[in-house]
Structure 1
Amino acid sequence: MLQSSTLTFLKNLKKNNNREWFEKNRAAYEAAKEDMARLVDDVIRQFGKKEEGIAPLTAKECVYRINRDVRFSKNKAPYKNNMAASLIKGGKKAANAGYYIHIQPGGESFIGGGRYMVEPSELKKIRQEIDYSWEEFEKIIGNKKFRSTYGELERGEGMALSREPKGYEKDNPAIEYIKLKSFVATTSLTDADLTGKDLVKKITAAFETLQPLIRFLNRALED
């Protein structure tokens, strides 16, 4: 579970996203940062029993900096309004599919994972794997537990092509997934979930449900 003070810090940061306020409240930030690290370490400890690639990780290798890169953004707010972590074999900068935790109070928290905005060379491999192993992929995303937890793969703006990619026919049974440029599944967390005693259990269970998809994607990328 997370401390309610961590959610309070993030709520206040959203209202006061400037360096002067942040420095005055650095102690609250450091406490929230440690709280997030404890959560991630607890998830690694539990989920690592099921996913050996996750087991050696530490929170430091998974949690993202709260500072925003504003160099190419119109939004010059210096800090993110969330805390997030990627649990990926090799650490958060690795190019593998993996698991994600996003903490943002106000009903904007979620967990999930996959592979976001895949590079063309890797995208070709994933599409080919889906095409060749469609029955297996269909079973993964059609699994009752997967559907009840995640619903469908994300199809937000820019995450899929409007028509079939070159080399694939419209009547391909897998075509709606072959069109994807990202392969991501998410499920939301309430603020009550975040401070509940079952948070680690809830995250671990969701990650276990996602595991077959992650392994499928990484198999494609490793081929």
Structure 2
Amino acid sequence: MMFRFNRGFMGPSLAALSPSAGGGGGGGSLPVGATSQLDFVNGFYYAGGAEQSVGDLLGGDFDPSAISGSGMYVDGTNANRPTVVGAFLSDLLDNLPEGMTILFQVTTGHSELGGFLLYIGDNESYFDADAWNVVSINGAVWDQGVVDISTSISGAGAHKIAVTFNRDIGGGNHQYAWSHDGNAAVTQDTPYAALTMTDAQLGWPGPPGGGLQLFRTHIRSITIYPAKAPADLPALTGL
């Protein structure tokens, strides 16, 4: 898996759903402690402090027919490239300066994992942005050589990935962390905070010809929490 934080040229079962903080008309519920969730399996979408319609949270090249009981399907060969909009976009952008942990639950039918799950950037061109955060499958974390977190996931089936962005650890330093499938978190500290950003997209196809599209992946759910300590991430990602 890969999470990428880039400062550009400036120097550079979600486990045990407890009693919910918000009900889900589609059958899902908001895990205790979470602030937002897109649960494509149960049809539960919660952002901005309230349950929402998925059409109010995903726009752009979003194809609602890509959602099934298996989750939302994204592949390099299909047309589903949802742009995050509305209250879910606001929650992503508003949580980034304070730090946040995002839990992804995905399944793949292929042993070769790859491609971007989520892009958060500073304009709609995505590739030309001078600052971005990217979470992708089976790669590494880097920021122009400053952030350098290496980790990998392989094998078809279910996976959980938790990524912490911009956790304030004092002294002007911020921490990024990565855990998957119950493994201990890998971390990287930076002497700066994340930049302000404006846009987000799921299943970002990456730079032209880059071959970074998601490959045969169902995104089952995406859940946002306040930034968690690295020691808390393995329990969040345990299968």
What's the TM-score once normalised by structure 1's chain length? Answer: 0.29
Higher relative contact order (CA 8 A, sep 6+): 2
Higher strand share: 2
What's the TM-score once normalised by structure 2's chain length? Answer: 0.28
